[in-house]
Chain A
Amino acid sequence: MEAELQPQEERSPAPVVGLSLCDSAPLLWRLQDLKAVRSEGLVGALLGSLPRTPRQNVRLGRPLLLLPEEERLLGERGGAAALPAQNQEAAGGELQQRYTEEQQRSFEEQSVLALEDRKSALVRAMTSSSGSDPASDEALQHRLLDLEQNFSFPRSALAVQLSTARAGLSHCPEARAFLEADWPIRAQRCPRREARFQVFRDLRGRGFFLTSAGKFGGDFLVYPGDPLRFHAHFIAICLALDESVCLLDVLCAARLGSNVKKTVLLCSPAPDGPVRYTSLQWSGMV
């Protein structure tokens, strides 16, 4: 495993990604973390509403939920760290002050923009209705002057932005980028989880992208490249080598795979290292 990671490490040190736990699930919130994780080949799953179009389910937004195998892989190579919890940094007063300053600045900017907007609307309205003659030009100038003097941007019309990631972290990004890569390995030690992780690490090492495949009746969906560009080729089902499988289960898996036009891979990590793969493809009667 080390040999495969060497070339990557020589290029640039892999960035440390900040994870935060929500209801014992590892979530990624910051944009740079998502990019880093995707560039490493870990796909994860987006859970939240997309800020621009919140009322649809086709494209979701941050946070990104990691598979337990992905989380463990990140932890093993030292790339995961815990994001600081709320209110652990500077005293609340400082944050509050920063917040009110920001609000004031945003208010001023927005009032200037609103005034510009109203002026241009007025000019458009007046020049479109009448032609261009000096009398109406003067009237226009008068109106613009009036508008400038009497315009007030109400506080209630201020557009506020709700930040996705925790606000304290984005305030001074360069200071927060350095995180201690000390994410503990939380995996439960059961043979099934162990088998899954071995298979995941092996397939990831070969360059495949993996996502979860619960709705296909398997453990992982294996893509030859980025899932956004390819369809999955395999459904990976992880079994221990000495586990006995009922033939009906094998038949179920094979039927499912052939119905969705994917090859079923039965994967078993051998105790001496390499993972053994058996593929099932539905062919006709010989």
Chain B
Amino acid sequence: MGFSAEGKQFLLPEEALYLMECGNLQVFHQDLPLSIQDGYEAFLSSDSVSLQQYQVFGHLKRLGYVVHRFDPSSEPSPYARQLSLPRSRDRGRRQLKRKRSPSPAPTSRSDSYKTAAASQAEEMEEEDKLPESHLVASAAPQTSSSGAAGEVQARTWWPAEVPERQAGQRSAPGSQRWDFSSICFPDLGSAGRLAPLDASLLPGGVTPGVCDVAPWMRRINLRKVKMSPKEEERERRQRRRDVNKDKEVQRCRNWAEYHKLLERRQAKRQGRPAHLWSGEVQPLHDPTRPISTGEFRPDPRIFSSRLQKWMSLCLLRLKGSEEWRICFNVYQPDSVADFKKSNPGKPYARMCVCSFDGPVPDLRVIKQLSFQSGDVPVVYAAVDHGDISFYTFKDFQLPRDVYP
């Protein structure tokens, strides 16, 4: 619980009030300890945490859950989730620490390669096993984490919001993001020379020369790999076909493109040409299989998934209403799931607090909140003068049988 900013540990108002009620914390104001009544009146209001939200918070904490505030901007985009990008919460602070060291140490560099964003060129660099002196010359402009030279580069990678955090706002450690469009990695796999360094980035007195990698590249991949007889058999079979001679394969620049090429070829083989099946709008029925109009029964599942996709596109354009918003992330206690403050992981549920006096959430609100939450279920906590009831809406697939 809590967060640290500017070297001091801070507590959120609801956390402080909960600890006061448990008898674990004393809050002083003007040298006098606050009573619980003072705490309620000072910390709970409609701007920060309302009384109903605090009731839900306290209820869940007393049951043993870990409850954090929900920050919509710290949710990873669907693309980032797809890549399973590691959550870069502490990345910024770690980077700043390394900047203080005067020269890039060889040991830290291997860490920097592991922690920098995964990319094709990175993996190739590691596999090429270039000697360290060349890594110093070539890697400094690319990676921000090694040495003082990285300082200027580092700034451009993060969105501008990071340094301008207001004191009143809660610091959002998750909002530091890599700006992939401005990071460029050299293609060391292709033969030839690397671009010379910009002298302004290096400490004074060091003049960069041109880097000739040819003699080093000749020395890599010289070790013989011992394979089992089954693997040798597989190698022999593959060598016979020699996939590398294929022109289309040569045109692929990385593994992702090669996989796409394989998929395309397989789809063509199965009679599903790409121009029909890989767009936003797909045929409801395979045109290669003739069927009469009377027998045509579209798959209801396609409708529901199309409808969902269309609705989510619509919801992206509609502005959210202020009345309904997700308040908390709820994580299961430590013994059940592995929760770490630096890496909380996926929450167990997200809470939206409402009351029986207020309106029932309509379909638009439900869809909006569940879209915002991603794959974590949204639980509605209805507070009724001391009683809390939890409701959740589950997506439901209609049964598939359609009878004439």
Stretch among B229-237, B262-270, B371-379, B382-390 lining the A interface: B382-390
A284 within 8 A of B: no
B23 within 8 A of A: yes
B40 within 8 A of A: yes
Residue of B with least CB distance to A99: B32
Residue contact B30 to A92, C-beta cutoff 8 Å: yes
Stretch among B58-66, B94-102, B165-173, B315-323 lining the A interface: B58-66
Q: Which residues B1-50 have CB closer than 8 A to chain A?
A: 18, 20-23, 26, 30-33, 35-38, 40-41, 44-46, 50
B138 within 8 A of A: no
B356 within 8 A of A: yes
Main secondary structure of the interface of B (DSSP, over half): mixed
Given A20-B41, A45-B387, is A54 in contact with B21 using a C-beta cutoff of 8 Å? yes
For B146, what are the chain A residues with a Cβ–Cβ distance below 8 Å?
none
Residue contact A86 to B384, C-beta cutoff 8 Å: no
Residue of B with least CB distance to A217: B356
Q: Which residues A52-77 have CB closer than 8 A to chain B?
A: 54-57, 60, 62-63, 65, 67
B55 within 8 A of A: yes
- The docked-state distance in angstroms from the alpha carbon of A95 to that of B36 is 17
Given A22-B51, A23-B45, is A164 in contact with B37 using a C-beta cutoff of 8 Å? yes
Given A23-B44, A54-B23, A95-B32, is A45 in contact with B37 using a C-beta cutoff of 8 Å? no
For A23, what are the chain B residues with a Cβ–Cβ distance below 8 Å?
44-46, 50-51
- The docked-state distance in angstroms from the alpha carbon of A62 to that of B35 is 12
A46 within 8 A of B: yes
For A21, what are the chain B residues with a Cβ–Cβ distance below 8 Å?
41
Residue of B with least CB distance to A54: B22
- The docked-state distance in angstroms from the alpha carbon of A25 to that of B46 is 11
Which of A22, A85, A167 is most buried by chain B, counting CB atoms within 10 A of its CB?
A: A22
A90, chain B: closest CB distance, angstroms: 12
Given A47-B55, A57-B62, A65-B385, is A160 in contact with B37 using a C-beta cutoff of 8 Å? no
- The docked-state distance in angstroms from the alpha carbon of A48 to that of B44 is 13
Given A51-B23, A95-B32, A214-B382, is A22 in contact with B356 using a C-beta cutoff of 8 Å? no
For B384, what are the chain A residues with a Cβ–Cβ distance below 8 Å?
212, 214-215
Q: Which of A57, A96, A165 contacts B37 (CB 8 A)?
A: A165
Residue of A with least CB distance to B356: A214
Residue-wise interface mask of A (102-121) relative to B, using a CB-CB cutoff of 8 A (1 in contact, 0 not): 00000000000000000000
Which residues of A does B touch, CB under 8 Å? Answer: 20-25, 27, 29, 45-49, 51, 54-57, 60, 62-63, 65, 67, 85-86, 92, 95-96, 99, 160, 162-167, 211-212, 214-215
6 A-B pairs closest in CB distance:
A45-B386, A214-B384, A214-B356, A49-B21, A23-B51, A54-B22
Which residues of B does A touch, CB under 8 Å? Answer: 18, 20-23, 26, 30-33, 35-38, 40-41, 44-46, 50-51, 55, 58-59, 62-64, 356, 382, 384-387, 389
Q: Given A48-B58, A167-B32, list of 16 further CB < 8 A pairs?
A: A20-B41, A23-B46, A24-B46, A25-B51, A45-B385, A45-B386, A47-B51, A48-B21, A49-B21, A56-B62, A99-B32, A165-B35, A166-B37, A212-B385, A214-B385, A215-B384
